[in-house]
Amino acid sequence: MGQIVPDPIERYLAGLNHLSDPVLEDIARAGEQEQLPLVDAEVGALLRILATAVGATRILEIGTAIGYSGIWLAGALPAGGMLITMEMDETRARVARGNFARAGLADRASVIVGDAKLKIAKVAGPFDVIFLDGPKHLYNPLLDRLVTLLRPGGLLITDNVLWSGEVVPGFVARPEHDEADTRAIAEYNQRINAHPELMTATLPLRDGVAIAIKRGAPEMKPLLDTLARSTQALRAADFNDDASS
């Protein structure tokens, strides 16, 4: 059973998701075979919906892998829009470029190879959406720069913020993740929720997705309020499989 959302609920949500396509499904299967840490289709759908909701034309992604999440994001871009995505591994970056081409998005995706901590200084904003899903030890060092690159009203979306529940002390009896990564994510969660330029809500979807909006755009408050209400509803829901009706 999943630590965050029980497996039956995840299967139910997967059955409702009709936004995927054969190319994405093929890439997901390849990623599973190679045991790559890709987002799943439900998080992918969330990325596309959020990018669409803010009318994104420029998106930055940290952690390309083989392009799966990037395709979900770039699929929300209009003609002339651009996704800039960073990947440390050259082989994965090459595969990602091929996958963007397969998805018909080669003209809307630019894959940069190298250490995001170094490359980020050369990237010019503003961006409408930033998706952070790279090495966990980079979450904190990158945060201030990412907030600077984000436009007011833009979204900073971060994956794995619940880290299989290991960010909650004592919740997981036998932690499997690197302890330093767990501490880094826990610290990052504190920072984005207390950051003076951000308003943040966390969705307990898959491994936890934090959605932060950069302050300065009052017209985006209804979206944030909706996200906050959704989070509260999910937290209050009883997903105990053994519960009797």
8-46, pLDDT tens digit by residue?
888 888 888 888 899 999 999 999 999 998 999 999 999
Q: Which pLDDT score is estimated for 19?
A: 82
Q: Which pLDDT score is estimated for 242?
A: 52
Q: Does domain 7-228 have CATH number 3.40.50.620?
A: no
Q: Which pLDDT score is estimated for 219?
A: 52
Name the band, by pLDDT with cuts 50, 70 and 90, for residue 108: very high
Residue with more model confidence, 231 or 6: 6
Cβ pair 111, 93 in contact under 8 A: yes
Q: Which pLDDT score is estimated for 243?
A: 46
pLDDT at 133 over 60: yes
Q: How many CA atoms lie within 13 Å of 14's alpha carbon, on the beta-carbon side?
A: 12
pLDDT at 229 over 90: no
Mean pLDDT of 137-142: 96
Cα–Cα distances (Å) from 185 to 163, 190, 228, in that order, read 8, 9, 21
Residue with more model confidence, 130 or 11: 130
Q: Which pLDDT score is estimated for 183?
A: 95
pLDDT at 167 over 80: yes
Task: Indicate the range of 87-91, 101-105, 162-166 predicted with least confidence.
Answer: 162-166
pLDDT at 245 over 50: no
Helix ranges, 17-74 (H): 22-33, 41-53, 68-74
Instruction: Considering only CA atoms, give the Rg of the chain.
Output: 17
Mean pLDDT of 103-132: 96
Cβ pair 139, 131 in contact under 8 A: no
